[in-house]
Amino acid sequence: MSLGRRPALGVGAALLLGLALAGVAAPWIAPYPPEQQDLGNRLTDPDAAHPLGRDDLGRDLLSRAIWGARISLLTGVVVVLISGVAGVLIGSLAGLAGGALDACVVGVIDLLLSFPGVLLAIALVAVLGSHLANLILALCLIGWVGYARLARTLVLGLKGRPFFEAALSAGSRPGRLLVTHLLPNLLGPVLVQASLGLGAVILAEAGLSFLGLGVPPPAPSWGSMLRAGSQNLLDAPRLAIVPGAAIFLAVLGANLVGEALAERLDPARRAEGVFL
């Protein structure tokens, strides 16, 4: 890896870690409770006590942005973990078993991929109701597909390798084949997929919250803050700029990590010097 590309992984990891630490430490570092209102000081400009000013209900914008990191990043991490584990297991089992199970899984994947994922998530949350658990469930129900397709494709390729055929000839059972020989070889590509998927989930959560389908108020999330700030673009643009910048930094960090991991794990990209 050239010197010019080495900082990418560190910068991306630093962005994600910084935002995650801010969310975890929100009860201790946020200057004010995120729901504390002061209607007599609506939309006041930044000052020493409120470095980013107040929103349309007189709440401290900095405190809400810090607390928003907890909800937005927590949603992203939980969705990636559940979707990744479920998708990898389903795709791996389908590729290993073949036959009717593989055909059934491929059919479900193709069916879900034929619809825009965001529209499916909107429909699910609209039916289930605006709640953090329902939002995570909706994103997981569409998020596992990419991991399953990736795992199935990789397993089908690994089944023709000599080490797999040797283990099969030695009498290894399917469970042992999956755990010992297949899943370790999926780790690198799945990590890349998860890193890039984290940014996509954060963006999807922000979009659903912007539409009013995320965490119900007064709990702060970056998407709901962006929605509220869009009503005051002319008189207080910072209400939209602050959550928008937080979303941008989180997605940028996830993409930098994913691209850096892909470049390091893919010999062809490393040899060609490809880095986006």
The three-state DSSP-derived secondary structure of 97-135 is HCHHHHHHHHHHHHHHHCCCHHHHHHHHHHHHCCCHHHH
Which of 202, 102, 103, 190 is closest to 147 using CA atoms? 190
Look up tokens 């794990």; give the residue.
Answer: 265
Does some domain include residue 94? yes
Q: How many domains does the chain have?
A: 1
Predicted TM-score (pTM) of this structure = 0.86
Q: How many whole angstroms from its chain centre is CA 234? A: 31
Look up tokens 């060609």; give the residue.
Answer: 272
Does some domain include residue 78? yes
- pLDDT at residue 266 in the model: 62
Does some domain include residue 44? no
- pLDDT at residue 21 in the model: 94
The answer to whether 258 and 192 are in contact (CB under 8 A) is yes
- pLDDT at residue 274 in the model: 38
Q: How many whole angstroms from its chain centre is CA 263? A: 20
The answer to whether 43 and 56 are in contact (CB under 8 A) is yes
Question: Quick one: which H or E segment has residue 184?
Answer: helix 183-210
Does some domain include residue 204? yes
d(CA 272, CA 274): 5
Q: How many whole angstroms from its chain centre is CA 94? A: 25
**Backbone dihedral region of 50: left (phi > 0), alpha (psi from -120 to 50 degrees) or beta?**
beta
For residue range 68-101, list pLDDT tens digits in order: 998 889 999 999 999 999 999 999 888 888 888 8
Does some domain include residue 209? yes
* Contacts with 258 (C-beta within 8 Å, 6 or more apart), sequence order: 12, 192, 193, 194, 195, 196, 198, 199
The answer to whether 9 and 192 are in contact (CB under 8 A) is no
Does some domain include residue 34? no
The answer to whether 73 and 19 are in contact (CB under 8 A) is yes
d(CA 194, CA 264): 15
Q: Write phi, then psi, for 93 (nearest 5 degrees).
A: -65, -40
Tell me 60's DSSP state.
Answer: B
Which of 155, 126, 125 is closest to 140 using CA atoms? 125
Does some domain include residue 38? no
d(CA 145, CA 208): 19
- Local confidence pLDDT in tens for the 276 residues of the chain: 444 456 878 898 999 999 999 999 999 999 999 998 988 888 888 988 899 989 988 999 999 999 999 888 999 999 999 999 999 999 988 888 888 888 999 999 888 888 787 888 888 888 888 788 888 998 998 899 999 999 998 888 877 776 666 766 666 666 667 777 677 888 888 999 999 899 999 999 998 888 888 888 788 889 999 998 888 888 889 999 999 999 999 999 999 998 888 887 765 444 444 333
CATH code: domain of residue 156: 1.10.3720.10
Number of H helices, E strands in the chain: 12, 0
Give the range of the structural domain holding residue 75, as residue numbers without chain letter.
12-20+57-271
Does some domain include residue 252? yes
Q: Report the chain's mean pLDDT, rounded to a whole number.
A: 84
Share of the chain above pLDDT 90, in %: 36
The answer to whether 114 and 171 are in contact (CB under 8 A) is no
As given in the structure block, the two tokens for residue 142 are: 């569409």
